[in-house]
Amino acid sequence: MESSERYDLLIVGGGINGAGIARDAAGRGLKVLLVEQNDLASGTSSSSTKLIHGGLRYLEYFEFRLVAESLAERETLLRIAPHIVWPLEFVLPHESHLRPAWMIRAGLFLYDHLGPGILNFGNTSSLPKSKSVRLTPDGYGAGLKPEFARGFLYYDCWVDDARLVVLNARSAAAHGATILTRTRLVSAQRAGDVWIATLDGEPGGRREVRSSAMVNAAGPWVRQVLDEALNIKLSSTVRLVRGSHIVVPRIHEEHHAFILQNPDRRVIFLIPYERQFTLVGTTDVPIPRDEYRTRISREEIAYLCEAASRYTAMPINPGMVVWSYSGVRPLYDDGSENPSAVTRDYHLLLDAASATGGAPVLSVFGGKITTYRRLAEHAMEKLYGRSPSNAAWTHREPLPGGNLDGRSFRGLLLDYRRRFPRLPKVWLARLLRRHGALAEDIIGDAHEEHGLGRNFGGGLYERELEYLVKNEWAREAEDVLWRRTKCGLHMSAEEKAGVRDWLAARA
Ligand SMILES: Cc1cc2nc3c(=O)[nH]c(=O)nc-3n(C[C@H](O)[C@H](O)[C@H](O)COP(=O)(O)OP(=O)(O)OC[C@H]3O[C@@H](n4cnc5c(N)ncnc54)[C@H](O)[C@@H]3O)c2cc1C
């Protein structure tokens, strides 16, 4: 085995935290290698509720630092990724026996004013402030039982979580990082101020690389990487908590989402999803430390249907579920008994040997999609210190496709509709939501549908498939159908098989 390849930073894990750190580090001039054992975002980072949010409910657990940082990040991400992040209205139907109105008003007041520097009374958010609303069947009450007459309205943002990961990886690569998917860190040993790491994956099977520093961003596997691959015993530990979602036919035609209170004091979300559907989630189920991959249980489906049906005009039952997904939250163990109460804040841990000159390893515990960019900045500071030559930069540069040349997303859409009047309208909107200003690289010279190549169904054409393979590390059908796009939701089994066969033939 050769060990000639030498990097400044080896990052283990191609979820949002690994990809975000790779982008930040590569942009600061470091020679970066990121290894992901499967596909980018194949762990927790494609299974979230897909909100860029402060987390209204975290206020009940006094997580003011986390909420303030998250709300500030909401603004930054809206700015650097306007194609995959957009504002969403949330309606909270009022039920006085669950939480009194004064408590909700106080929470929303804080939510409107938390941000950089914690409390702000200037205009730090581009989103409208919260307010009380009447819930009418043709307005904010659409989809609800008529007995819910009053509620509250506030704003957060939606994100395509899996694409956020891929765009960070693309940006990292554009800044010189090497991204290897289907490549696992098997083990690593410290040799003084360098790590010698054994990787397993294509091309060429097992090989060794050297790196001056390492980041363990393995999400639910963070402890496994420390224990088994690095042979490091840390006292801090991770709590694995499964969260599941179901997708059902759309429950109303308006644009708003619901945040619904449950008698167990948890909240669940009902969010318009992929035009025809409503996303319902999530659950909090503690799982054993070695159960990294997981599926929704029958009890969780029943829980979500029941919680939603307490509010919806039309009951939601398990027979209506068209798709479901589950993810594992790798939470930092703060000793809370209730899995819903465990902190959602992140912790970055440098192991002790780093302090005495040994090659450092930084491990990421916990975190949110929302805070990944700040987490990456903190990781850089912890590893390399603060200095003008090591300055933060990722808040300035748009993610790939996010530079709309001063246009709003709607402006971009209208522009494309004008330039490509004969391309399918809904498809064009979806393509722009996936690729933003880079959509042009896919459309090329196609002015009619047939110019886009084979139509695989579900809004996927050969030109985009080629592009995803060439530019976004897509290799298998799952990568394309459920992560680079959500076309899988709109396809028949035969259509999905068509994508699988095409990819196999190309490989
Ligand atoms: C149900 C649910 C809902 C959520 N909703 C939200 C939300 O709405 N908003 C929000 O901000 N956050 C949300 N979160 C939190 C957020 O999704 C996670 O905090 C985040 O995705 C964690 O990212 P990660 O990069 O740390 O982990 P992952 O995404 O799991 O990435 C870790 C990667 O490491 C790889 N890996 C592991 N071991 C190795 C190895 N030895 N070699 C190479 N690669 C390896 C894995 O394959 C994996 O891809 C939610 C989480 C869940 C579960």
How many angstroms is it from 95 CA to the middle of ligand 1?
33
Percent residues over pLDDT 70 in the chain: 95
CA separation (Å) from 503 to 163, 199, 268, 465?
20, 25, 37, 9
Lowest mean pLDDT segment, chosen from 103-112, 121-130, 195-204? 121-130
pLDDT for the residue numbered 109? 87
Residue 117 has pLDDT above 70, yes or no: no
pLDDT given at position 290: 73
CA quadruple 42, 43, 49, 50: dihedral positive or negative?
Answer: negative
pLDDT at 353: 78
Mean pLDDT of 180-209: 93
Greater model confidence, 394 or 105 = 394
Among residues 243, 242, 241, 238, the alpha carbon closest in space to that of 365 is found at 238
Q: Is the CB of 327 under 6 A from ligand 1?
A: yes
Residue nearest to atom 9 of ligand 1 (CA): 51
How far apart (Å, rounded) are the C-alpha atoms in residues 473 and 179? 9
Distance CA 507, CA 251 (A): 41
Q: Is 12 in the pocket of ligand 1 (CB under 6 A)?
A: yes
Confidence at 496, pLDDT banded by 50, 70, 90: very high
Joined together, the tokens standing for residue 135 give: 């819930």
List the single range of 18-32, 43-57, 173-187 with lowest mean pLDDT. 43-57
Looking at residue 354, its pLDDT comes to 74
**Whole-number pLDDT of residue 378:** 95
Strand partners, 154: 90
| Closest to 76 measured CA to CA, from 21, 115, 119, 109 | 115
Using DSSP bridges, classify how beta strands 85-93 and 150-159 pair: parallel, antiparallel or unpaired: antiparallel
Q: Ligand 1 within 6 A of 9 CB?
A: no
Name the residue with higher pLDDT: 64 or 284: 284
Q: Which atom of ligand 1 is nearest to the CA of 40?
A: 49
324-365 confidence digits (pLDDT tens): 999 999 888 876 777 666 777 889 999 877 777 789 999 999
Of 111-115, 155-159, 338-342, 390-394, the range with the lowest mean pLDDT is: 338-342
Residues 252-286: tens digit of each pLDDT? 999 999 999 998 889 999 999 999 999 999 999 99
Give the span between the Cα atoms of 413 and 431, in whole angstroms. Answer: 10
| 1 pLDDT more than 60 | no
- Percent pLDDT > 90 in the chain is 76
Q: Is a pLDDT exceeding 60 seen at residue 2? A: no
pLDDT the model gives residue 24:
98
C-alpha–C-alpha distance, residues 486 and 395, integer Å: 27
Range 217-228 average pLDDT: 94
Q: How far apart are alpha carbons 132 and 260 in whole angstroms?
A: 15
- Ligand 1 atom nearest the C-alpha of 245 is 1
**Residue 47 Cα to ligand 1 middle (Å):** 8
Question: Measured from the CA of 326, which atom of ligand 1 is nearest?
Answer: 1
For atom 27 of ligand 1, the residue with the nearest CA is: 219
- Give CA separation, 319 vs 46, 248, 253, 302, 354, in Å: 24, 9, 21, 10, 54
Q: Is the pLDDT of residue 402 over 80?
A: yes
Closest to 288 in 3D by CA, of 333, 326, 243, 239: 239
Which of 35, 38, 48 has most ligand 1 atoms within 8 Å of CB, for mutation?
48
pLDDT confidence of residue 39: 98
DSSP 349: E
Q: How far is CA 284 from CA 219, 248, 250, 297, 366, in A?
A: 17, 20, 24, 12, 15
Nearest ligand 1 atom to alpha carbon 225: 41
For ligand 1, is residue 401 a contact (CB within 6 Å)?
Answer: no
Q: What is the mean pLDDT of the chain?
A: 92
Structure confidence at residue 237 as a pLDDT band (50, 70, 90): confident
pLDDT tier at 137, thresholds 50, 70, 90: confident
Q: Is 43 in the pocket of ligand 1 (CB under 6 A)?
A: yes
| pLDDT (average), residues 215-238 | 90
Q: What are phi and psi of 33, to 5 degrees?
A: -125, 125
pLDDT in tens, 359-395: 999 999 998 999 999 999 999 999 998 877 789 999 9
Q: What pTM does this model have?
A: 0.96
CA pair distance 265, 276, nearest whole angstrom: 29
Banded model confidence at residue 123, pLDDT cuts 50, 70, 90:
low
465: left (phi over 0), alpha (psi -120 to 50) or beta: alpha
CA distance 221 to 184: 12
Q: What is the DSSP letter of 118?
A: E
Query: What is the distance in A from the centroid of ligand 1 to the CA of 225?
Result: 15
> pLDDT tens digits for 404-431?
999 999 999 999 999 999 999 999 999 9
Q: What is the mean pLDDT of residues 41-56?
A: 93
